[in-house]
């Protein structure tokens, strides 16, 4: 069923301990949409600048992404720079140039407003709410957020949490949002704030989800050669929501499998820079890795 | 089938962010044996000093541990002090008084020498080898080690690795032993050093095992109230080896379930100081938590 993502498209400058890349097509919505495109043709809402390459838009279209909702605004595309420590666990933001994002006012095209599955990628909670209000009868809404909004827009974030079905957080964000250092207690506390499902990501240590009728924990896929972790979280969310949409269900048994699909899409994402490594995967490659992961976790 | 453990008995002084305890009955073999006693009556070889309380030995006997191999030597029992940071991830050793351990020369009683399953708890690799040589026809031998031996007794440790079936390491030890920061690659490298199975513990992030015919990953049990993590690793090994011995098999399907049993015994261990919280659990309590964990990881 129809899947809508609202988020950023970006050009990233990335430094790892082994390599550097400049102007890599990135952004939360980009990674999400490419991951989801392996399951359903996702609808994308975002903004780019006049410098955005037609080629990059074509790449998204080829992947099956409906880019009708990508607005071209005056100015340059959002640009982000990041540097990873050799252990991958620490990321430094080297610069953030909001550019066209600064005045981003999301407009969900008429043809997208009947979307049933919605992912609100990381953005100011007011922007996320504004986007959500334009969707007529969403059935399952998941949002992402970040430390910045927990710090400077907490009230808005709490309002958002009361409006969505699911939130995806990393360990640090969950602790910050709830003041609980134990992640199980943190997840429970998040559930008390509104959503019926929380997905808690722990990077190389996997992820777990908790809700009123589901508690499921999964290790990360054992990737042996990480090249660039940028986009891993959004690729996870894209695989997760892509599968959920394709099944038209957010029942526990679907959500459990969605965790595996998200883990698989994230594992392909980190094996290279940008969306290439993920976009170019075949259905067989995804299925093969899904089966590997299932084998690793089956008792 | 018969399970033998060779390791330490100790009195521990423990400081956590919430509480302190002095003279807690501890030691690697103690925690291991109590965890294993829920599956088979383990045989224990170790040394204590003249100060060792008859009461503590009685506690082990009550749990079903065969203490025939506990030697009483002149001097005081091994004493260890540890302090945990509030996040539990960092442990500081405040003191180590080897006492009777300094001249520990393990003697496996005649009645224990037909043991088929053997756990060599953390000790100098030469001591571990000396103990192993006294077992006639072991079928499955697992060893633990620590950073100290990787640093100061590497050749002995490598000799040990060629003689055992399985090694249990934490993430830091695996990285140190192999020079590989990626844990999957580290585990593969350890397999290249001799054992056919490596169990890699990641604390609150669970554990995975890797061998020629098995690769299995498991999250930790979601304990909400950690009181004292001392002995968690040995309790894990005790539940693991206890189950393997009770099944008289180290086939992949047994090893996978053993990972769950070890995770369950470790989860009870950390809910209090000393062996009490683990020793007092009923079969029903263990089975209940096993089923909980199975529910959390089943796709």
Distance from CA of A194 to the nearest CA of B (A): 21
Which residues 6+ apart lie within 8 Å of A192 measured at CB? none
CA dihedral B35, B37, B40, B43 (to 10 degrees): 100
Which residues 6+ apart lie within 8 Å of A299 measured at CB? B216, B256, B257, B260, B294, B297, B298
* Confidence (pLDDT) at A87: 79
B299 in reach of chain A (CB within 8 A): yes
A71, A46 contact by CB (below 8 A):
yes
Mean pLDDT of A279-299: 97
* Confidence (pLDDT) at A279: 96
pTM score of the predicted model = 0.91
How far apart CA A13 and CA A79 sit, in angstroms, is 8
DSSP string across chain B: --EEEE---EEEEEE-SS-EEEEEEE-HHHHHHHHHTTTS--EEEEEE-TT--HHHHHHHHHTT-EEEEEEE-SSPPPEEEEEE-TTSS-EEEEEEE-GGGGG------GGGTT-SEEEE-SS-HHHHHHHHTT-SS-SEEEEE--HHHHHH-HHHHHHHHTT-SEEEEEHHHHHHHH--SSHHHHHHHHHTTS-SEEEEE-GGG-EEEEETTEEEEEPPP--S--S--TTHHHHHHHHHHHHHHHHT---HHHHHHHHHHHHHHHHHHTTSSSSHHHHT--HHHHHHHHHHHHHHH--
**Residue B299: which of A87, A184, A294 has the nearest Cβ?**
A294
B107 in reach of chain A (CB within 8 A): no
Q: Residue B233 sits in a domain of what CATH number?
A: 3.40.1190.20
B54 in reach of chain A (CB within 8 A): no
* Confidence (pLDDT) at A224: 84
In degrees, to the nearest 5, what angle opens at C-alpha B41 toward C-alphas B35 and B43? 90
How far apart CA B93 and CA A82 sit, in angstroms, is 37
B208 in reach of chain A (CB within 8 A): yes
Task: Test A216 with B181 for CB contact under 8 angstroms.
Answer: no
* Confidence (pLDDT) at B87: 79
Residues B86-142 pLDDT 10s? 878 788 999 999 999 999 999 999 999 999 999 999 999 999 999 999 999 999 999
Rg (CA), chain A: 18
How far apart CA A141 and CA A144 sit, in angstroms, is 10
Closest chain B CA to residue A216: B296
Q: Which domain holds residue A141?
A: 3-297
Residues A223-240 pLDDT 10s? 988 999 999 999 999 999
Task: Test B217 with A217 for CB contact under 8 angstroms.
Answer: no
Going by C-alpha positions, the residue among B99, B122, B124 that lies closest to residue B11 is: B99
Going by C-alpha positions, the residue among A165, A96, A153 that lies closest to residue A127 is: A153
Distance from CA of A94 to the nearest CA of B (A): 25
Number of domains in chain B: 1
With the C-alpha atoms ordered B229, B199, B246, B160, is the resulting torsion angle positive or negative? Answer: negative
So what's the ipTM on this one?
0.86
Residue pLDDT tens, chain B, 299 long: 899 999 999 999 999 999 999 999 999 999 999 999 999 999 999 999 999 999 999 999 999 999 999 999 999 999 999 999 987 878 899 999 999 999 999 999 999 999 999 999 999 999 999 999 999 999 999 999 999 999 999 999 999 999 999 999 999 999 999 999 889 999 999 999 999 999 999 988 899 999 989 999 999 999 988 999 999 999 999 999 999 999 999 999 999 999 999 999 999 999 999 999 999 999 999 999 999 999 999 99
* Confidence (pLDDT) at A225: 87
B236, B221 contact by CB (below 8 A):
no
Q: Is the pLDDT of residue A118 over 90?
A: yes
* Confidence (pLDDT) at B239: 98
What does DSSP assign to residue A76? Answer: P
């Amino acid at each position: 069923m129809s899947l809508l993502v609202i988020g950023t498209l970006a050009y990233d400058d990335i430094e790892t301990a082994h390599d550097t890349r400049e102007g890599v097509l990135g952004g939360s919505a980009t990674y999400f949409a490419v991951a989801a495109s392996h399951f359903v043709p996702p609808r994308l809402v975002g903004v780019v600048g006049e410098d955005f390459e037609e080629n990059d838009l074509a790449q998204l279209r080829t992947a099956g992404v409906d880019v009708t909702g990508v607005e071209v605004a005056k100015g340059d595309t959002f640009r982000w720079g990041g540097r990873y420590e050799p252990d991958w666990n620490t990321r430094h933001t080297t610069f953030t140039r909001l550019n066209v994002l600064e005045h981003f006012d999301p407009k969900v095209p008429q043809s997208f407003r009947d979307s049933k599955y919605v992912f609100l990628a990381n953005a100011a909670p007011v922007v996320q709410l504004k986007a959500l209000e334009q969707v007529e009868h969403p059935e399952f809404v998941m949002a992402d957020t970040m430390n910045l909004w927990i710090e400077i827009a907490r009230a808005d974030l709490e309002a958002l949490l009361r409006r969505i079905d699911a939130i995806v957080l990393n360990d640090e964000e969950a602790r910050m949002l709830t003041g609980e250092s134990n992640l199980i207690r943190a997840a429970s506390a998040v559930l008390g704030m509104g959503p019926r499902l929380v997905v808690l990501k722990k990077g190389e240590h996997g992820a777990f989800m908790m809700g009123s009728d589901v508690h499921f924990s999964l290790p990360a896929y054992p990737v042996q050669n990480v090249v660039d972790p940028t986009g891993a979280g959004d690729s996870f969310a894209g695989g997760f929501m892509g599968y959920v949409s394709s099944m038209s269900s957010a029942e526990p048994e679907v959500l459990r499998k969605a965790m595996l699909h998200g883990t698989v899409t994230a594992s392909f994402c980190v094996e290279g820079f940008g969306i290439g490594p993920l976009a170019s995967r075949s259905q067989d490659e995804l299925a093969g890795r899904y089966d590997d992961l299932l084998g690793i976790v089956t008792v």
